[in-house]
Amino acid sequence: MKKFILAVLAVLPMLAIAAGPSMDLDKANNDLRDKESLKRGFEAYINNCLACHELKYQRYNRTFADLGISDQDGAANYMYTGEKVGDHITNTMPGKEAAKWFGSTPPDLTLEARFRSPDWIYTYLRSFYADESRPFGVNNKVFKDVGMPHVLQNLQGVRTMDEHGNLSEATGGSMTTEEYDEFARDLTNFLEYTGEPNKLERENLGYWVIGFLFILLFFAYLLKKEYWRDVH
């Protein structure tokens, strides 16, 4: 037992180092029940992210069905490359060339919200700032030395960071700060949905399972009393 405890204590610091430094994240406060937000997030992803980042574990027709979009409307307004509605949401970017352009192949984002968290994605989308030392002229407070350009800069505008690590208000974007925050929240909402499309169903089913277990516990208690009645 003593050796086991010492082994656990030795591993804990390594786990803390692997997790990396913690930082305060902004709350996304997104709502998976908001279908209109999910639709806006889906459209935002198709128009701004899909050229580089695939969702290869998510199908178009599943997304259409869950978001209340007909296959005809979806094919006309969300599928710009002519795929079949049953196809996965992919792009045609060549992986080897992309690795040369960006330093590494842009990752698939289907499970990003489960890997990072919705709050991380929301904060990341809002934390780009000007940094002339970087190849694309920007850096990110959440993801230091990120290897991608700020593709939403025309919407958000440009932010700067002072010597204390504080970000300025964005200037020069086509959206106000409030509008861009809502845009980032919709996009975050959609990425949380793709990470687990049946999350709401699972959570609702969980209440029924817990209720069943309480009922089972009640009958198990009565059965226990019946078995032990003669013993006592």
* Residue numbering of the annotated binding site: 49, 52-53, 161
What are the tokens at 219? 């009958």
- Pick left, alpha or beta for residue 89 (phi over 0 → left; psi -120 to 50 → alpha; otherwise beta): beta
- Whether 60 and 86 have beta carbons less than 8 Å apart is answered as yes
The length of the chain in residues reads: 232
- Whether 55 and 46 have beta carbons less than 8 Å apart is answered as no
Residue whose structure tokens are 């003593």: 2
Question: Binding site for heme c: what residues are annotated?
Answer: 49, 52-53, 161
> Facing residues of 128 across strands?
140
What distance in Å separates the CA atoms of residue 113 and residue 46, rounded to the nearest whole number? 17
